[in-house]
Structure 1
Amino acid sequence: MSIQALFTPKLSKKVKQKYLYTELKKRKLEFEKEGLSGIEYKNKVLGAKTELEREIKNGIIRKYIKPTTEHKRIFHKHILDHNLHNLFTTAINVPHQLPPAIRSHVDFTSYISKQNLFSTIFPAFERFDQGGRQPCVFTKENVGWTTKDDKGYYHYCSKSERTGVIYGFSLLDIVEIVFEEPLMGTSLAYINARRRIANVLNIQYNELDFQLQQEDKYSNNLTLIKDIDTIKQNFPNLHSLIKSQLYVLKKLHTFAMSNIMEQRHAVNKEAVFFVSTRTLMKDLKENYNIEKSHTTIASAINLFATLRLLHKIPSEKLQSKEFLYNIAIEIRKDNIEYNLINFMTIPFYDFDRLTKAENIAKRLLRNNIKTAKQITRASLLKVFGEKKANKVFGVKIVNIRNMSPEELYELSIRVLQDVPIDAINRMVDEMI
C-alpha cells in the first residue's frame, strides 16, 4: 500500500452517513454557541449539510488519524522508495538544557512531547517553524505543519488536500518511522527512539543512566552465556544442567532488556520485569520455531532461579502502581489465557556469579537432579532446605485466570487515580 492510499478513505454508504451525521452535529453545536436561532439557524444548518454532502461526493472526509504500526511501516517504506533520507537526517550533539526536575522516562517523554523539537532533531523540518502550511516532508501532494494540541503536546501533521485526511505524528513517531523499522511495534522501538532523541540533545537524566546500566548488564550476560564452549570448559556441571535450557535464559534477557522499568521499582538495585510463561511459549514458537510447553518453560525458570542466575520476586513486594497498569496492558494484548505472571530480576554475570552457579549445579547433580523438571519444591527441600526452596517455590505467582482483562484494567485505573490523565495517556501510548 502507498501512503496516498492511506490518505484515501474507503467511503462505504455507512461511513458516509456516519460522517455526515457526526460532522453536522458538530456544526449545529457551533451555531448554537454563536447564539443563532430561528430561520438563521436553519439556513446555516442547511448550508453546512449541503457543503458536507458536496465534499463527501468528491471523496473528502476531514479525518484525523494517529498512525498505527502498519501505517508507520508504510511511511518508512515510502522514505526508502523515494530516497528521502536527507530530509530525516538528525542533528548532531545539539546543546539542550534539561530542567532539573526531569529524572524519569515518564518525565522526559512528557517534556519532549510538550516542546516543539521537530526541527531541533530534524533540521529539514525548520521550514515548519515559520508557521502556516508548507509542502509535506513525506510527499509534495500533501501539506504539512506542526501544531500543539489542547493538552500541550506537539504533533507534525500531514494533510491530503485532495481528501482532507490528516495523519498526526509525535516526535517519537517520526524517529521510530525513520530508524526503528525492524523493531516497529515493540516497546524496544519506543525505548530506542526515546534514547536517540536524548543522544541528539546530548542530555542525561537519572532514569536513562539506570536504563543504560541495566542494558549493559544484559548485554554482558548474553555475551557470556552465548559462549557455550567457555562455559563447558570452565563450568562443566553448570553446562550439563543448563545447555538444553539456554534458549529460555537468552529470551528472558532480551525480554528484560526491552521492558526495563523505572529505577524506583528496582529491587536490590536490579530492574524488575514481568513475563508470563505462555507469552514466552508463544514468542519462542513464532519467532524461533521452538515449540515448548509452558510447564517446560516454567521448569527452566525454576532451574535458573535455583542456580541464582535470576531471582523470582514476590508480587507483594512490588508496591508500584505502574506495575499493575503494565500488567493490565500486557494482558489486553493476549486473547487466549490470562494467568501466571512472574516477577523477576537478573543479576550481573561474572566469574564469581558463574562459579557459585557451578557449585550449586554440582550439588544438584550429586543428588541425581539432572534436568529442569526435577527441580521441585520437594527436591530443593531435600538438597538445600526450606529457605532455599521458598526462594524458588515460595514466591506466589500472580494468578489472574479468574480476572477478565477489563476487570484488571479497571483495577489498575483505580490505583492510578492520583496520576495526571496526560501521564496515563502517555503510558498508554508507550505500552500499546
Structure 2
Amino acid sequence: MVVAVFIYLFFALAVFLVMRMRRDFIFILPLFNVLADISFSYFEGFSAGSILRAVVLAIFLLMFWDQLIKVDILKSLYLFFLYISLLLLFSGEFLMSLKTVVQVILSMSMFIVGYRYITNYVRYQKLLNNLTWVILAGLLATVVGYIFDIGKTLEYTANINHEGNEEYIGLLGSGSLYGPALALALLPLITKSSEEKILQRLLWIFSAVLYIFIILNVRRTVILIPITGLVVFMIFTKGHTLILRYMLFSALLIMLLAPVYRPLLEKRFEVRAESGRFEKGFLKSELRYKENIILLQEVKEFKEPLAILFGIGNNIFAEHVNNGKIVRRMYHSDSAKLVYGTGLFGFALYLVIYGQMLYLILKIPRVKILNEYRTGALVVWIISLIVSFNGSITLVTFRSLSFLLIGTFLGMANAVYKSHGAVLAVTKR
C-alpha cells in the first residue's frame, strides 16, 4: 500500500513537471521512463502504472502537436500509425490491443520530437548529459533490488522446473535494462559532453558496475547492446584512443571484481543450462525461432488471405489473449508479432520505416563536423534493429529512447548542414 502511494505520487509529479516544463520535459524523459519501469515490479499487465505513463507521454507529445501534424519527415511512420489504428477497430480483444497500439505510437513518435526540437548544440549536449542519470538510475534500482531482495525475479529461477529459490535481479527486469544498456552504448558521446576528466572516469566506473549486473541477468540481447554500440564507435570514429583506453579500463575493472560476482554468475549459467539453452541445436527449439517458422508456414499455405496480408481477425498485438484471459505465450520477436497482428503489409511498412531511417542516416555527409551525429544515429539504429529480432515493440523505455535519439542525431545533422551547408560542401572529412 505504501509503495503504491509513492508510485502514484511519482506519476502525479511527472504530470506536474510536464505541464510546467512543457517541451523541456524531453531532457528528463529518458529518466522518467526508467523510473516508471520500477512501478512494474508492483503493477503488472494493463495496470495503473501503464495507464499513468501513457497519460504523461501523451501530454508531453501534445506539447509538440504543431510539429507532429506537419507530416513532412518519415511519412511511412504516420502511415504505419494510421494502419495499426484501423486494425485496432477489428480487434476482438480491444483493450489489450489498444494498450499495445498506444505504446507503439507513443514511443515511435519520439522520433519526430527529437528531430524537431533538438536542433542546437546546447539542447543536444543537455540531452546527452542527462543520459548519465539513466545509467545511475539503472544502477541504483538494480543494487537496491539485490540488497533488499525486492523487485523482479530472474525468470529462469521462477520456472516450475527449477528446484531452487527464485532470485531477484533488481527493481528493473531484463527488459527494463534495455534503456540503461542503450545509454552505456553511447558512453563515448556522453563522456565527451563532460569536460571534467574525473566525472568521465567515475561514469565509466559506474557503467562497468552496471554492466556486471546486466551480465548477471544472463540475457544475450541486453548484454550485446553496449558491446555493439562501442564496437560501432570504434569502427566509424577517428581518434578513438580515449574510447579504447576507457573500454580497457572498464574491462579490467570487471575482471578485478569477478571474484565477487562469479559464484552467482556460474549458478545462473547452471540454471540456464538446466533448461538446455547451451545444448547443440538449441536455437531450433528456441520459442522465438519456432514462432517465426510457424508463421512462415502459415504464409506459405495462404489459407486466410485477409489475415496473412493485413492481419484482419488476428487481434493486433493481442495474439495471446482470448476473452480477456491469457491463454498462451505471447509472440516475443517483433517480426512474429507484426506478421501475425498486422499481416505482411504491416510488417513491410515497419521495415520501410527502418529503411527510410537508415537512408536518412547514410545521407548525412561524411564530414568531420557531422560524423558524431552520423555515427550516433547509426549506433542506435543498429542496436534497435538487433533488439527487434529478440522483441522490443512493447518496451516503451527502450523504444522511446532509441527513436528519440535517432531523431535527435538526424535533427542535429540537418540543422548543422542547413546553417553551414556552403562550408560543408568543400570540407574534407
Q: Is TM (by shorter chain) over 0.5?
A: no
For the pair shown, the structure with the greater C-alpha radius of gyration is 1
Structure with the largest fraction of strand: 1
Q: What's the TM-score once normalised by structure 1's chain length?
A: 0.22
Higher relative contact order (CA 8 A, sep 6+): 2
